[in-house]
Structure 1
Amino acid sequence: MSVFHGFEGKRVTVMGLGLFGGGAAITRFLARGGARVTVTDLKDEEKLSASVEKLRDVEVRFVLGRHVESDFTDADILIVNPAVPRNSPYLQLAREHGVTFETETNLFFKLCPAPIIGVTGSNGKTTTTSLLGAMLRDLGVRVYVGGNIGVPLIEHVEEMTEDDLVVLELSSFQLEDLHAIERSPHIAVVTNISPNHLDRHGTMENYIAAKRAIVDFQRDGDIFVANARDERLASWAGASNARVLRFSSQDRVHDGTYLDGSALRFEMDGDSGEICDRGEILLPGIFNVENYLAASAAALALGVRTEAIRRIARTFRGVAHRLELFLEENGVRYYNDSIATTPESTIAALDALEGPIVLIAGGYDKKAPLRQLARKVIVRCKAVVLIGVTGPRIAAELRRCENAGALQVCEEGTDFEAAVGRAISLAEPGGCVLLSPATASYDMFANFEERGDAFKDLVRSLTSPAANQ
């Protein structure tokens, strides 16, 4: 049966195009299937110009800068963008009129013929997804990597077969909707669980429930790869119908992967051995060792050779915006860690680096607790430059810490150029400047990529010979 079956002639409303075209792929897919598609977004066409341009060659009706009730009451199907608040009155209106709800992720799960390996976690999921995709290519099959990592795969579902493999990074926003279709991936990899997106989910319990959808509907024959150090995941494993593989950077595990001294090792299916040495991994920090262990457990379960995993360790240089060393000038190293949108991510980055650290932190407030971050900053940093809405919150937490007087704290509000300039002036040879905000970017930038690119551009500009003449 065609993947387009059931869409021809249907009235479909896509709610939420997004500044970077998050709804463009599903719109093209539906239009190709013969649906009569309306795209609606509260942002106007000027703000969405880049996204609209991606659909210029598609027969689609746009309703931008507003929502029209009839687009929700008269539709056959409503596609809801993950960023749309679930308490939107327009969603309630559609429910009252019996409209069928769908999301791009749910539709992909329904239509994809290939085994899906889902990766989630509060931290590390992007690196783990990328690593696993690279490792699986050793099997000689087609491997698709996408999802929350920024690559929508719905447009490729038509070409996929059951012999392919799909690696999907899944956010809590995407996962919470899987409950509606009672689907989980064949292999679920969960790196860790810590407070995140509480501005959206309201409580930690709701956030955990959304994440848990990645394992809730697994069956016999499926696999759950869990961080052995995370107590919440231990409870998930105890209730799982799937085979459970564990990974640990501290303790030996008897079915999974672990760090033994400097060696990454595995025990699985009656076999055991060394995967690689920690020194072979190019990326810094124990959290990246854990990312390798998580990806390796899933890869080994699918038949990837240890030699291939070792080769990836020696060649994989990471993903953009994740502890990305992009410049060394006058003895100072500059790291772009803009993808660090949680306090835990920034704590991990601080633990990974050496020398006096000047940290740039702050941004949009996701209501995450900041006390542990403040304590780590006091211990690891020479100075901190604070920006954005959460700048004052972080400063207040720092003042509550012991030895707060030893840390130089600068608050620059929303002046990002001034913040970067201040950080550069405070750095010293042998040390580093680290952008690791611990928060989202939405108060000052469209997304973490834009923030990271702006940081790199400013550093290169402000440290250039011309700037110092």
Structure 2
Amino acid sequence: MNTSVNRFFEGIKGKTVAFIGIGTSNLPLIKLFADKGAKVKALDRKDFEALGENGVLAKEYGAELILGDCYLDNIDADIVFRSPGTPFYKPELVAVRESGNVLTSEMEVFFELCPCKTIAVTGSDGKTTTTTIISEFLKAAGKTVHLGGNIGKPLLPEIESISADDYAVVELSSFQLISMRQSPDVAVVTNLAPNHLDIHKDMQEYIDSKRNIVLHQSAFSKAVVNLDNEIANSFSENVRGQLCKFSVKEQLSNGAYLDGTTICYSDYGKVTRIMDISDIRIPGMHNVENYLAAISAVWGMVDVDTIVKVAKEFGGVAHRAEFVREYKGVRYYNDSIASSPTRTALGTLSLYDFKIAIIAGGYDKHIPYEPLGPVINDKVKLLILLGDTAPKIEQAVREADNFDESAIKIINVTNMEEAVAAAVENTGKGDIVSLSPASASFGLYKNFEERGNHFKSIVNGLE
């Protein structure tokens, strides 16, 4: 076993370790630390009944459950694992640090202990697809890949089985990065735009959190940034190792770029022409950008033939412009991952050269919707709205300079069933209907996957 891993687990024996949140991502950690001899506490705002099977499992694993509205009061533990959704500067967590106890997170510990090369991706949009493409590249090249982070399962429970020749490919959110003081071997920044301002105190805190992905790299590290995105490109000044960029607008001396419709890579002036963008199976210019970022990340690790093979075969990630079915000549797509205005504008609304129908709205993260209004007017003929952000989206559409009341129909509904019914009633053969919320799912659903799955189940149940 890796000696640092062994030393870490020996060190937590008999210690009290608290985990904030009893969700599916923390359950493997609760079991792991209990099995390693720690006294585990599991903290959650929900009561035992609301936790369902998760609460039962946490108890079976040996955790002491601390539940209810006061679950964060007077946290008594040697080590506290913060869940990504718990604000880093929350007073109860500040109190943990001030008491001299350890406040950490799963990803922080994983990065400290991981024996293999780490590749991490962050950004406001595109990070899940980019992370997955990188993983697909490496797997197709015969590498052993551990995929995790914000994309799904925790990786710390796998730490004992990871060898030095493997690759850890992770997606990192701003909530994970805000407290991280160790950066990956290869860092990728897809883009940055206002997001999660309901949790971060301001835009600067959001940007500074993301900056941690490159801030603690060494001279032997590599950073990949988006030249076309001003904020992401500003991270260049913090890069200590190799700086690689990607662009759909400019040719580069080091990085992946477009020459017409051809994806090229310049390795300090040595140019390789890789493929035409038509070779990429998943649609949209935003996915071309995702491929440019992923290619830049793995250049030198994966050969060109493997890159092209993956591009031609990879069908995309669920909930990202995912085709659901055709019903009465209308094609339905699930783009539930579009939880921000920019994701909707650069995703679904960039895919078609004719006007479509979209279902939008959800939880309000206090993001400005004004820039989305003109794009909707340009690309949408039927706008179905639900959730807290419905009035904001409608206002942005109506107040845009290109608003034409005769060119777009706006329908407000209260739930997804009504939204799909409105889509069926107001579309005809040849139309496209896409769930593309431009908003978070909270309030109506616990996450974008649940939202997308509900939409798919309704559409697949149409008769």
TM-score by length of 1: 0.94
Task: Specify whether residues 11 and 252 from structure 1 end up closer, same or farther in structure 2 by C-alpha distance, changes over 3 A only.
Answer: same
What residue in structure 1 maps to residue 127 of structure 2? 125
Q: Is the 8 A contact 1:257 1:264 kept in 2?
A: yes
1:34-80 per-residue CA deviation (whole Å, 9 max, x = no partner) reads 100010111112221132244354122112224467861x3111111
Q: CA deviation at 1:460?
A: 1.8
Q: Is the 8 A contact 1:338 1:448 kept in 2?
A: yes
User: For residues 87 and 136 of structure 1, what CA distance do their matches in structure 2 show?
Assistant: 37
What residue in structure 2 maps to residue 313 of structure 1? 311
Q: CA deviation at 1:115?
A: 1.3
Say if 2:431 is the partner of 1:424: no
Helix, strand or coil at the partner of 2:40: strand
Q: CA deviation at 1:194?
A: 0.5
Task: Specify whether residues 68 and 206 from structure 1 end up closer, same or farther in structure 2 by C-alpha distance, changes over 3 A only.
Answer: closer
Q: Is the 8 A contact 1:355 1:431 kept in 2?
A: no
What residue in structure 1 maps to residue 173 of structure 2? 171
Task: Specify whether residues 204 and 98 from structure 1 end up closer, same or farther in structure 2 by C-alpha distance, changes over 3 A only.
Answer: same
1:210-243 per-residue CA deviation (whole Å, 9 max, x = no partner) reads 1000001111110001111012222211331121
Q: Is the 8 A contact 1:398 1:404 kept in 2?
A: no
What residue in structure 2 maps to residue 7 of structure 1? 12
What residue in structure 1 maps to residue 329 of structure 2? 331
What residue in structure 1 maps to residue 408 of structure 2? 407
Structure 2: gaps of 5 or more residues: none
Q: Is the 8 A contact 2:256 2:292 kept in 1?
A: yes
Q: CA deviation at 1:378?
A: 0.5
Q: Is the 8 A contact 2:140 2:310 kept in 1?
A: no
Structure 2 counterpart of 1:168, one-letter code: V
Q: CA deviation at 1:5?
A: 2.8
Matched positions, count? 455
What residue in structure 1 maps to residue 454 of structure 2? 454
What residue in structure 2 maps to residue 467 of structure 1? none
- Residues 144-155 of structure 1 aligned to structure 2 (within 5 Å): 144-155=146-157
Task: Specify whether residues 39 and 244 from structure 1 end up closer, same or farther in structure 2 by C-alpha distance, changes over 3 A only.
Answer: same
TM-score by length of 2: 0.95
User: For residues 290 and 143 of structure 2, what CA distance do their matches in structure 1 show?
Assistant: 23
Structure 2 counterpart of 1:445, one-letter code: Y
Structure 1 counterpart of 2:18, one-letter code: T
Q: CA deviation at 1:430?
A: 1.8
User: For residues 128 and 68 of structure 1, what CA distance do their matches in structure 2 show?
Assistant: 36
Task: Specify whether residues 247 and 146 from structure 1 end up closer, same or farther in structure 2 by C-alpha distance, changes over 3 A only.
Answer: same
Q: CA deviation at 1:328?
A: 1.6
User: For residues 70 and 296 of structure 1, what CA distance do their matches in structure 2 show?
Assistant: 47
Q: CA deviation at 1:429?
A: 1.8
Structure 1 counterpart of 2:191, one-letter code: N
What residue in structure 1 maps to residue 112 of structure 2? 110
| Percent identity of paired positions between Structure 1 and Structure 2 | 39
Structure 1 counterpart of 2:36, one-letter code: G
User: For residues 264 and 431 of structure 1, what CA distance do their matches in structure 2 show?
Assistant: 31
Task: Specify whether residues 354 and 431 from structure 1 end up closer, same or farther in structure 2 by C-alpha distance, changes over 3 A only.
Answer: farther
Of 81, 84, 89 in structure 1, the residue corresponding to residue 86 of structure 2 is 84
Structure 2 counterpart of 1:443, one-letter code: G
Say if 2:49 is the partner of 1:46: yes
1:381-434 per-residue CA deviation (whole Å, 9 max, x = no partner) reads 11100000000111111121233312111111x322111110122222222001
Q: Is the 8 A contact 2:262 2:273 kept in 1?
A: yes
User: For residues 99 and 436 of structure 1, what CA distance do their matches in structure 2 show?
Assistant: 43
Structure 1 counterpart of 2:408, one-letter code: L
User: For residues 247 and 425 of structure 2, what CA distance do their matches in structure 1 show?
Assistant: 40
Q: CA deviation at 1:367?
A: 0.8
What residue in structure 2 maps to residue 34 of structure 1? 37
Q: Is the 8 A contact 2:186 2:221 kept in 1?
A: yes
Q: Is the 8 A contact 2:253 2:269 kept in 1?
A: no
1:127-177 per-residue CA deviation (whole Å, 9 max, x = no partner) reads 000000010124433111111001211110111122111000000000001
Q: CA deviation at 1:270?
A: 5.3
Helix, strand or coil at the partner of 1:368: coil
- Residues 89-238 of structure 1 aligned to structure 2 (within 5 Å): 89-178=91-180, 182-238=181-237
Structure 1: gaps of 5 or more residues: 465-469
What residue in structure 1 maps to residue 340 of structure 2? 342
1:316-342 per-residue CA deviation (whole Å, 9 max, x = no partner) reads 000000010121222211110001001
